C-alpha cells in the first residue's frame, strides 16, 4: 500500500523530504506511522521507536488521535505530520 | 508636509480608517484603547506583532525580553536600535513602541524571561497573552497563565519559511499544551528571514485585535499553518487533549 506523507519544518529536514509517497506494510494508520518512524529512526524526534507526542497527525484532513492506531487505511491517503515549532 | 484645509478634522482621529472595518466600530475601538496585552519576547516575530498592536490603539503592552542585542539580531528585530548592540533589548523595544502609540499608550518592559509567577501576576491585569518566544517553555508559561486567569492566548511561531498561529479560548478550545504536551527538541539557531517572521507576527496581531475588539470569527483552537515558500495555508482543528492540566485550570477559572 502506498501512502502520501506531507511533513513540516524539522520533520521534513530530518526525513529529507517535504512530501513523498512511501510504501507501507500493513493497512492501518499505525502501520503508516511506523513506516515514517523507521525512516526517522535515530533522529531527535523519534524516541524508543515512536514519533514525538507533539507531532500533529492528520489523515486526509482528519486529526488522528494517538491510540487509534488501528484506524484502517485503503491506500492513497495523505498523512500530514505537522510539528509545532517555537521560532519567534 | 502640510495638511490641506478641510483635511484637519480627518487628521484628528488616528484610527478613523480602521474603524471603517465592519467588525471594528467605535465601541470596539474603545475596547482596544482600554486593553492590556502580555507578550513574551518582541524579537523577529513579537516585535512586528507588538508594533502593529501599538499603532492599532491597544492601551498597554507588557513585554518580557531577556538579554542584550546582538548585531545578528538586526536583520529581523525591528524594534531594536542598530547603534545599541550590546545593550539590553527590552528597553529598546519599550522606547520604539512608545514612539508609535497614541497619547496615553503605556508600555511596561522587563529585561528578563517570563516565569510562572510573573506571568500569573500580569495576567490579573491583562486581557490577552501572546507567545512569541524562541522556546516552547516560555510559550507554555504564558499559555498556562492565561488559561488559569480565564483569558485568551495567542501563540505564533515560525521556522524557516513555515509559520503557524493558534488562538486559544480558555475552557473551550484546545490550548498550546494540548498541541504540545511535551516540548520537542529544539534548534535555538533556527533559520529565519525577517520578512517571514514579521508576516506571521502581523497575522497574529490581526487576530489579537479581533479578539480584543470582541469580533468574530476567530479561528479558535485551529492550527493555522502558513507556508511562505509554497504559499499555502491550512487550518486544522486541534482536539482538546483529555487530562490537559492547563485546560483543567481554565475550567476552574471559568466556574
CA angle B3, B6, B11 (to 5 degrees): 55
Q: ipTM value of the model?
A: 0.93
The secondary structure of A15-30 as a DSSP string is HT-SEEEEE-SSSBHH
Of A28, A24, A27, A26, give the one whose Cα is nearest residue A38.
A24
Q: Nearest-CA distance from B43 to chain A in Å?
A: 7
What are the C-alpha distances in Å from B59 to residues B35, B48, B54, B62, B131?
A: 5, 17, 8, 10, 19
Measure CB to CB from residue A54 to each of B166, B181, B197 and give the nearest one: B181
What local confidence, expressed as pLDDT, does residue B3 receive? 44
Average pLDDT rounded to a whole number, residues B53-58: 98
Q: Nearest-CA distance from A8 to chain B in Å?
A: 8
The pLDDT tens digits of the residues spanning B208-251 come to 999 999 999 999 999 999 999 999 999 999 999 999 999 999 97
Complete domains list, chain B, with CATH: 22-254 (3.40.50.720)
Q: How confident is the model at residue B5 (pLDDT cuts 50, 70, 90)?
A: very low
Distance CA A56, CA A42 (A): 20
CB pairs under 8 A between A and B: 87
User: Would you call B76 an interface residue with chain A, using a CB distance cutoff of 8 Å?
Assistant: no
Q: Among A18, A85, A87, which would you mutate to test the B interface (most chain B Cβ atoms within 10 Å of its Cβ)? A: A87
What local confidence, expressed as pLDDT, does residue A67 receive? 73
> What homologous superfamily does CATH list for A2-82?
Beta-grasp domain (3.10.20.30)
Which residue is listed with cell 498597554? B60
- B4, pLDDT greater than 90: no
Report whether A87 contacts B157 (CB < 8 A): yes
What local confidence, expressed as pLDDT, does residue B16 receive? 97
Question: Are A63 and B183 within 8 A, CB to CB?
Answer: no
User: Would you call A65 an interface residue with chain B, using a CB distance cutoff of 8 Å?
Assistant: yes
Q: How confident is the model at residue A70 (pLDDT cuts 50, 70, 90)?
A: confident
User: Would you call B135 an interface residue with chain A, using a CB distance cutoff of 8 Å?
Assistant: yes
Residue extents of the structural domains in chain A: 2-82
Percent of chain B at pLDDT exceeding 90: 93
User: Would you call A58 an interface residue with chain B, using a CB distance cutoff of 8 Å?
Assistant: yes
Amino acid at each position: 500500500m502506498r501512502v502520501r506523507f506531507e511533513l513540516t519544518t524539522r520533520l521534513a529536514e530530518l526525513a529529507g523530504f517535504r512530501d513523498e509517497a512511501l510504501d507501507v506494510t500493513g493497512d492501518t494508520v499505525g502501520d503508516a506511522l511506523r513506516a515514517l518512524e523507521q525512516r526517522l529512526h535515530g533522529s531527535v524526534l523519534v524516541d524508543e521507536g515512536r514519533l514525538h507526542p507533539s507531532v500533529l497527525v492528520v489523515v486526509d484532513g482528519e486529526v488522528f488521535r494517538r491510540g487509534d492506531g488501528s484506524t484502517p487505511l485503503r491506500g492513497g491517503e495523505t498523512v500530514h505530520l505537522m510539528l509545532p515549532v517555537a521560532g519567534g | 508636509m502640510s495638511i490641506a484645509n478641510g483635511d484637519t478634522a480627518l487628521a484628528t482621529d488616528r484610527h478613523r480608517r480602521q474603524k471603517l472595518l465592519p467588525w471594528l466600530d467605535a465601541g470596539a475601538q474603545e475596547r482596544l484603547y482600554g486593553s492590556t496585552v502580555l507578550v513574551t519576547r518582541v524579537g523577529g516575530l513579537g516585535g512586528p506583532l507588538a508594533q502593529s498592536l501599538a499603532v492599532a490603539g491597544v492601551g498597554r503592552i507588557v513585554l518580557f525580553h531577556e538579554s542584550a542585542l546582538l548585531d545578528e539580531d538586526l536583520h529581523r528585530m525591528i524594534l531594536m536600535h542598530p547603534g545599541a548592540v550590546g545593550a539590553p533589548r527590552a528597553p529598546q523595544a519599550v522606547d520604539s513602541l512608545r514612539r508609535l502609540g497614541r497619547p496615553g499608550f503605556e508600555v511596561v518592559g522587563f529585561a528578563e524571561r517570563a516565569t510562572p509567577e510573573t506571568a500569573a501576576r500580569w495576567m490579573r491585569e491583562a486581557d490577552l497573552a501572546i507567545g512569541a518566544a524562541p522556546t516552547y517553555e516560555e510559550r507554555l508559561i504564558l499559555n498556562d497563565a492565561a488559561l488559569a486567569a480565564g483569558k485568551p492566548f495567542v501563540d505564533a511561531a515560525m521556522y524557516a519559511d513555515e509559520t503557524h498561529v493558534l488562538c486559544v479560548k480558555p475552557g473551550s478550545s484546545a490550548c498550546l499544551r494540548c498541541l504540545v504536551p511535551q516540548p520537542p527538541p529544539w534548534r535555538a539557531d533556527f533559520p529565519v528571514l525577517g520578512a517571514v517572521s514579521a508576516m506571521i507576527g502581523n497575522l497574529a496581531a490581526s487576530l489579537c485585535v479581533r479578539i480584543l475588539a470582541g469580533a468574530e470569527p476567530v479561528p479558535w483552537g485551529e492550527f493555522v499553518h502558513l507556508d511562505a515558500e509554497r504559499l499555502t495555508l491550512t487550518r486544522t482543528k486541534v482536539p482538546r487533549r483529555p487530562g490537559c492540566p492547563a485546560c483543567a485550570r481554565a475550567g476552574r477559572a471559568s466556574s
